[in-house]
Chains A and B, each alone.
Chain A
Amino acid sequence: MDWLFFGEISLAGLAMGGLYALIALGFVIIYKATRVINFAIGEIMMFAAYLFLAFAGALEMSPWVALPLAVLGGSILGGVIEKVMIRPMLGESPISVVMVTIGIASILVGLVELIWGADPQLLPSFLPREPVFIGEMYLAPKIAYGFLIGAALLILYLLYFRFSRGGVALRATASDQAAAYSMGINVRRVFNLAWVFGSLAASLAGVLVAATGGLSPQFGAIGLSVLVVVIVGGLDSILGALIAGVFIGWLETVAGAYLGGEYRMPATFAVLAVILVIRPYGLFGTHEIERV
């Protein structure tokens, strides 16, 4: 076995996993606060990446201006979606709400195709190009820097949830909605905030992933890998999202490199199936006790 190759592949996988963790975090924030599974997360990522393409490519802005703008655009999109389409569904069955997000995903794919066409596109490259070496192992610079930017946002988020007013309100709402209400927390605003923050994380990850792998209207399919991540980690666990994200990213890349690209999805879904059997609520998820 070629350990250097394995190391390089693993490293690339771990970096990709870091981005998965970021997307999964966006997913978990929304789920924790609002109990909505957002099947449209991949499409929100895609939309932000296309915004970046428009700002940096067509309007020729500096990528470092375009990136925040695109991420901002993605977060606003998340907020608008929550206001217009998710809020009216408050109190409906989970199946219905999930279907609404699937509908939103379809609308976004159509919009993107309508505006930017169906052909794959390349993002203007904005990350440093010098190869990165860790020991002897080579790591593609786009992946390495993407990981670093993603990790920075992750840390910011964790600090925000821990110490800021908004973060505390979010955690309070997540743990007990009714109690949060009675303590004077504006739960509606928290819901909106959760969607904005969730979409922000996803948007940043979207631009970074698209910068390494290119962009097309099918880009949102990455949302499927993220679903696996959050189910394995536990839908409502931030820690779970981080650990499972890195693990699934690694597994997917290694399976793709050693068994062939067509094994990427089955490999991760096999892990998913095993987890569902032994720990149905994910590695770190809470098992809710139901009473009649």
Chain B
Amino acid sequence: MRIGDAKQTYEADEAIWTSPTQKFWFALLLLSLLVFPFMANAYLLYLGCLVGIAVISTTGLNILTGFTGLISLGQAGFMGVGGYTVAWFSLNTGLPFPVTLLLAGLLAAAVGILVGLPSLRVKGLYLAIATLAASVFLHFIFAEWESVTGGMGGLSLEPAHLFGFSFQSDFGMYFIIVPLAVLMVFAARNVFRTRIGRAFIAIRDRDISAEILGIDLLRYKLMSFALSSFYAGVAGGLFAYFYRVVTPESFPLSMSIFYLAAVIVGGMGNLLGGILGAAFMTLIPEILKLLTAALTPFYPNAPVFMSPMLEIIFGALIVGFLIFEPHGLAEIWHRIRRFFSLWPFRN
């Protein structure tokens, strides 16, 4: 039984593992992630991959919006940059996937820096609209720059390959996506233990105070944009390898909103929240699909109602979480944990 967690040093407060119990559960999680593809059927495997991609992108957006306080409606655009980069390089140079993914991340980061430039002068909603403008331009480029992006038809690409081994199936992709997701979430966790991450949080809490404390606002805001777009680019690259086709319609504006919603539903400024939110938002449509399939024998019209119902549920989730549970799923998770930590006492 563990009661409370008073910490006496800064190091203890910043430690990733606060207790052996935590290490144990994390090891169990990793193990189950490893065992999962061998136990799961094709459908669950497919979902696992989707969640993995969503986790990476949501974590990226969380760095920007949740931790730095810069709202962005351009996440899908950055993912698109990643997706097209991967597609172009693997079609035209045949580079193996680790290289193309890295390039995807770097190019997306470069675009992110460009998009972040107005953040010196505008913030809040003006910045949100600036990122929206960026995603409109990116969408336009994807659709019109035909010699590179294949226009509206998009690009199809070969399966990811490394050392003559090609990752053709979802089973193979799982072993690219999920380890990368774990790695990148960990990297993000560590960023927030350094001075860079601390600067991000200071900017979020009050940017002018942060500047007075000696934080170079533009530099750190751009860094946040770059980091976040790097995550988006890698997620977009994985997305491209997973579906093996990218078109301008693969990365619509609604996708940006989806990720913003995932960050909010999970819990802004909380990495665990990003993960929970990404999984939750990805799985909701699937659960609804199952429900529809179960209802179809009784109501033959059920499938017709599914897509509007999905829109309504999606919106209601956003509104409901913001009004009733502003700290998101992460807060629910913490409450559950606290309950077990304090048991048998009540708070």
Interface residue ranges, A against B (CB under 8 Å): 37, 85, 88-89, 92, 94-96, 98-100, 102-114, 118, 224, 227-228, 231, 235, 262, 265-266, 269-270, 272-273, 276-277, 280-281, 290-292
Contact = CB atoms under 8 A, between A and B. Distances in A.
B307 A231 contact: no
B323 A269 contact: no
Given A272-B133, A276-B118, A99 B315 contact: no
Interface residues of B, number: 45
A98 B125 contact: yes
19 contacts: A37-B125, A94-B125, A95-B65, A95-B69, A100-B319, A102-B261, A103-B317, A107-B315, A107-B319, A118-B307, A227-B129, A227-B132, A231-B126, A231-B129, A269-B136, A272-B130, A273-B137, A292-B208, A292-B212
Contact of B316 (A107, A270, A272): A107
A100 B308 contact: no
Chain B interface mostly: helix
Contacts of B268: 95
A96 B124 CA distance: 11
Contacts of A88: 323
B257 to A, nearest CB: 6
B54 interface: no
B264 to A, nearest CB: 6
B312 A106 contact: yes
A200 to B, nearest CB: 23
B118 to A, nearest CB: 5
Contacts of A111: 308, 312
A92 B312 contact: no
Contacts of B46: none
Nearest to B253: A224
Nearest to A277: B118
B318 A100 contact: yes
Nearest to A271: B133
Interface in B106-120: 118
Given A98-B125, A266-B137, A273 B130 contact: yes
A199 B12 CA distance: 53
Contacts of A92: 322, 326
B266 to A, nearest CB: 13
B258 to A, nearest CB: 10
Contacts of B307: 113, 118
B122 interface: yes
Contact of B143 (A99, A231, A262, A270): A262
Contacts of A85: 319, 323
Contact of A106 (B118, B122, B318): B318
Please provide the 3 A-B residue pairs with the shortest distance between their CB atoms, ordered closest to farther.
Answer: A110-B311, A106-B315, A103-B318
A88 B320 CA distance: 11
B71 to A, nearest CB: 5
A103 B122 contact: no
Contacts of B206: 292
B195 interface: no
B126 A276 contact: yes
B130 A103 contact: no
A280 B129 contact: no
Interface string B135-159: 0110010011000000000000000
B310 interface: yes
